[in-house]
Structure 1
Amino acid sequence: MLFRSIVDRGVGRRRQSVLPADPWFRYPLSSLLEGYQCVRHDEHISYGNLGDSVPPFGLAFSSAGNMQNVLAAANEEGIVRIYNTESRKDPLLKEWLAHENAVFDIAWVPGEPHVVTAAGDQMARLWDVKSGDLLGSFKGHLCSLKSVAFTPQEKAVFCTGARDGNIMVWDTRCSKKGII
């Protein structure tokens, strides 16, 4: 918002229609933004099994009332990590190997402490975040899954998208899938 208002007012460039006495021209954009920087303790690096940094592919914040500051991160090695983003001392709450392949996306069950992972092993999996227990597996795609999403109104229905070009709709209450 601050950045947008600065840009909209033309900081860092002169317009002929604006008088030079305009206070926005006294401060170049770079000097205004110098005070904004990342704080080291707010960085969370995604590490793999060997301790090397690996790219996080899926990131999602919880929508549960008491967990809105909780972030789920899934990475290239199939690891899911749950972070408390407001904790400075111990932000990592839980981690587990969710798949033996890259997890490309992750989604929270609306209002619940559960996540669904979409991975390169052609499966989606439902996890209990508090215990790390596997609650269900969903297989049907012919290629790696690239995305997962829940409908906001229904906690049991989600969809997955894969490299095979299909979108599948799943209902956790039954074992049947729907293909779109």
Structure 2
Amino acid sequence: MRPILMKGHERPLTFLKYNRDGDLLFSCAKDHMPTVWFADNGERLGTYRGHNGAVWCCDVSRDSSRLITGSADQSAKLWDVQSGTQLFTFSFDSPARAVDFAVGDKLAVITTDPFMGLSSAIHVKCIAADPDDQVGDSVLVLKGPQGRINRAVWGPLNKTIISAGEDAVVRIWDTETGKLLQENDKEVGHKKTVTSLAKATDGSHFLTGSLDKSAKLWDIRSLTLIKTYFTERPVNAVAMSPLLNHVVLGGGQDASAVTTTDHRAGKFEAKFYDKILQEEIGGVKGHFGPINALAFNPDGKSFSSGGEDGYVRLHHFDPDYFKIPSI
């Protein structure tokens, strides 16, 4: 499985997102420049210029016409995917960390970091069909828990928002009332910061990765813990195959400790696990630094990883991969 190396970022990668059709891949990095690539051959199509800080997260609308990005420059921006023009800027008083379009693309959730005495918050914004009608007001603002919220996504039928972050607790919020509906059981939950969260294609369950060196699979409605995957290093990124019962975890030790170890010892590989049996089934090496972002193509035939080394690595699976015995 020869990877395609995509070098378009000067700084570490933070997030990767495929569009619904799987023909485009969007990458975010600390170099302020969200970038779009052809998902098939890794050709770079263009960059979205306008942010003045690290871009932490992005999401693309179902019809691939709009992109939303959240940045350390205290803003989230809406872009026209094709032309690269900025359609709107949502301004905040603190860095914007996570962004996610609701089903139907009429709403977006944006989280903001704790900053200068402000607590973390979850903002719900209406997304206008015509950019000229777009306004910056929030339909709903939820005061978050202590610490940063690293990920927030929409639950089934846009009725809930699922959030997780520094305090290691996964929470479900009601999008009508803003009430906290559920928190995960502390006994079975993560023990350290939740870094990443990925939903299953059918939206019935989701996966969280944490600095406590594990990833956990949860039921999206009841918040019941289904499975836990253990590894020997902090998990920065998680993804689930839409095709097979596979989950992939990426990470490595803290960037500050990287220079002191040989890259082979740093364990910078994407590790594949059997979703049901919770056993490791393989790994993909290549990054010279921790993996910060992972994403599966919606067709399940390829995946990409983004690292602290500034590279995006695009992997198309060999036919052998699809013959891995699974139950």
> What TM bracket, shorter-length normalisation?
0.5 to 0.7
Counterpart amino acid of residue 129 in structure 1: I
Q: 1:56 aligns with which of 146, 149, 153?
A: 149
Rounded Cα–Cα distance in structure 1 between residues aligned with 2:79 and 2:249: 36
Gaps of 5+ in 1: 9-31, 49-53
Q: 1:166 aligns with which of 247, 269, 279?
A: 269
Rounded Cα–Cα distance in structure 1 between residues aligned with 2:135 and 2:203: 35
Match of 1:129 in 2: 220
Cα distance, 1:118 vs. partner? 0.2
TM-score (norm 1): 0.66
In the alignment, does 2:283 pair up with 1:179? Answer: yes
SS of structure 2 residue aligned to 1:110: coil
% of aligned pairs identical?
A: 21
Deviations 1:80-118 (A, max 9, x none): 112343x1x244332224311100001112214322110
Rounded Cα–Cα distance in structure 2 between residues aligned with 1:147 and 1:45: 25
Please give the residue correspondences for 1:26-45 in structure 2 after superposition, counting only pairs within 5 Å: 36-39=135-138, 41-45=139-143
Match of 1:46 in 2: 144
Cα distance, 1:170 vs. partner? 1.7
Superposition CA RMSD, Å: 2.9
Deviations 1:98-157 (A, max 9, x none): 3111000011122143221100100001112333222111012x3210011122334x32
Rounded Cα–Cα distance in structure 2 between residues aligned with 1:61 and 1:158: 20
Between the two proteins, the alignment pairs up a number of residues equal to 142
Q: 1:95 aligns with which of 183, 191, 216?
A: 183
Higher relative CO (CA 8 A, sep ≥ 6), structure 1 or 2?
2
In the alignment, does 2:200 pair up with 1:109? Answer: yes
Going by fraction, where is strand more abundant, 1 or 2? 2
Rounded Cα–Cα distance in structure 2 between residues aligned with 1:149 and 1:84: 25
Going by fraction, where is helix more abundant, 1 or 2? 1
SS of structure 1 residue aligned to 2:217: strand
Gaps of 5+ in 2: 1-65, 67-77, 87-130, 253-266, 285-327
TM-score (norm 2): 0.38
Counterpart amino acid of residue 47 in structure 1: P
Deviations 1:12-68 (A, max 9, x none): xxxxxxxxxxxxxxxxxxxx98x82223x52233203xxxxx211123334xxxx14
Larger Rg: 1
SS of structure 2 residue aligned to 1:130: coil
